[in-house]
Amino acid sequence: MNGQRIHALIPAAGRSVRFGGTTLKQYAHLSGTPVIAHSISAVSRHHSVVSVTVALAPDDGIFEQLIRPDFPAVKTVPGGDTRAQTVMNGLDFILQNHPASDWVLVHDAARPCVRLTDIDILIKTLSATSHGGLLGVPVADTMKQVDGADRITATVAREGLWHAYTPQMFRIGRLRAALQHAIDNDLLVTDEASAMELAGVQPRMVQGQRDNIKITVPADLELAAFYLQARKQP
């Protein structure tokens, strides 16, 4: 990265509505370790990442007790009501504490299986760009569009379609401006790349591994455990 500073931000203020139960998915145990701990560890290991900030729900009472002992250097900041506001709060915190910041690497708390090699490819690919980008994989399955009753209305050509993953990496000032634009205009953003798109930027897709899954339902924990265990096999 030629001396450029990369700060990792993990938004973790969500309520895990689709996960169900009483345990927030970022604190569910995966191979004996909370999901978010795997995610923090993954981004922390890259030599270009100089700090990690986690944006938490204001009433989070778990992180300090469960996660802090293993990650004393991680900073925390209160999140917001939406992902966009949560990420904005994180960016403001990073800029206040590191005014010379260049890049931010935003990674889902519930993506514990991201590979260090994929993060490395992402950083190396985007370091010379201004638009930034994100990890993902091309869609391999036949795509169907349905109506409100789940009846198929069209088969969608999969050429040019990608699954969007994280980390997503952008110049921190440009991402903050894009998110502010979306918030000010009540625009829906589902990830950081969509905020950049609404601001007229064309982020680059960087192909990663398909095992970089997001924990959404409890069954995903078993699959993630399989992926992590497989990496330990000789």
User: What local confidence, expressed as pLDDT, does residue 4 receive?
Assistant: 72
User: What local confidence, expressed as pLDDT, does residue 22 receive?
Assistant: 61
- Residue 66 CB neighbours (<10 A): 14
User: What local confidence, expressed as pLDDT, does residue 125 receive?
Assistant: 96
Residue 120, CA distances (Å) to 62, 127, 133, 191 in order: 30, 11, 13, 21
CA 6, chain centre distance (Å) = 15
User: What local confidence, expressed as pLDDT, does residue 16 receive?
Assistant: 55
User: What local confidence, expressed as pLDDT, does residue 3 receive?
Assistant: 62
pLDDT-flagged residues of the chain (< 70): 1-3, 16-22, 233-234
Domains of the chain: 6-134+164-232 (3.90.550.10)
Per DSSP, 142 falls in state P
How far is the C-alpha of 31 from the C-alpha of 112, rounded, in Å?
11
User: What local confidence, expressed as pLDDT, does residue 106 receive?
Assistant: 98
User: What local confidence, expressed as pLDDT, does residue 14 receive?
Assistant: 79
For residues 145 and 85, is the Cβ–Cβ distance under 8 A? no
User: What local confidence, expressed as pLDDT, does residue 129 receive?
Assistant: 87
User: What local confidence, expressed as pLDDT, does residue 23 receive?
Assistant: 72
Please report where in the chains the tokens 């409890």 appear, as a residue: 218
Measure the CA dihedral 48/53/55/60, to 10°: 130
User: What local confidence, expressed as pLDDT, does residue 230 receive?
Assistant: 92
CA 226, chain centre distance (Å) = 21
Of 204, 26, 198, 31, nearest in space to 107 by CA: 26
User: What local confidence, expressed as pLDDT, does residue 99 receive?
Assistant: 84
